[in-house]
Structure formats: structure tokens, C-alpha cells
Amino acid sequence: MVILTLAGALAALAAGFLALRAYLGLRRTRAAVLGGLVGEVARLADEAAELETRLAALDARANALPVRIFELQQNLTALRILTNALGASLGQAQRVLSPAGLKSSLARPLAGITKNLPNGRR
């Protein structure tokens, strides 16, 4: 019976040693997996934060884009109006500065001057 007890104790000791070895191996593996997993999760969290930042910037640009297009359309409308006014002014200036325009623009003032002159000087 002592031999059986010693054999059982030796088997239990060997099983305990194997269990302790398996437990330590499991802890090392768990630490390695968790270390890699924590690093990977941290990297993914950084990438997600960068994606959120870029998405916010894109959203801001997308929200500003219709406003810019609207502002551009308003500026183009104002530019069209100013261009039309400039064209009309240049057309009037060309008519006034043409030989016929100069004659007609000078004819009225000259007629007024000659009208006021005494009869002998006409």
C-alpha cells in the first residue's frame, strides 16, 4: 500500500508538474496574443481616429462646396451685369467718339453758342 501511495503521489506530482507547465505555457501564449492584440487594437484605433478626422474634413468641404458654388454663381451673375454695363458704356463711348458722334455732340453746343451771337457774326 505504501508503494501504491508513493506511485500515486509520484503520478500526481508528475501530473501537477505537467499541469503547471501547461499553465505557464498558456500564460505566455495569452500574454503574447494579448500583447499583439492590444497593439493591433491600438493601431486600428489610431487609424479609425484618422479616418474620422479625414471624414470630418471631407464633410466640411462637402458642406462648403454648395455654398462656394452658390457664391460663384452670384459672382458670375454680378460679373455678367458688370460686363453688360461695361459693354454698353463702351458702345456709348464709341458712338460719341466716332466722327459722326463728335459732329453731333459738338453741333448742339455750337448751335447754342451761335444762337447767342449777334446777327452780324453768324
CA atoms within 13 A on the CB side of 58: 6
pTM of the model: 0.43
pLDDT in tens, 47-72: 998 989 998 898 888 878 777 788 88
- Parse the chain into domains and list their residue ranges: 2-113
Cα separation of 15 and 12, whole Å? 5
Give residue-wise pLDDT tens across range 8-37.
999 999 999 999 999 999 999 988 888 887
Q: Flag the least confident range among 45-49, 81-85, 102-106.
A: 102-106
Q: What's the Cα-to-Cα distance from 99 to each of 8, 110, 120, rounded to whole Å?
A: 132, 16, 30
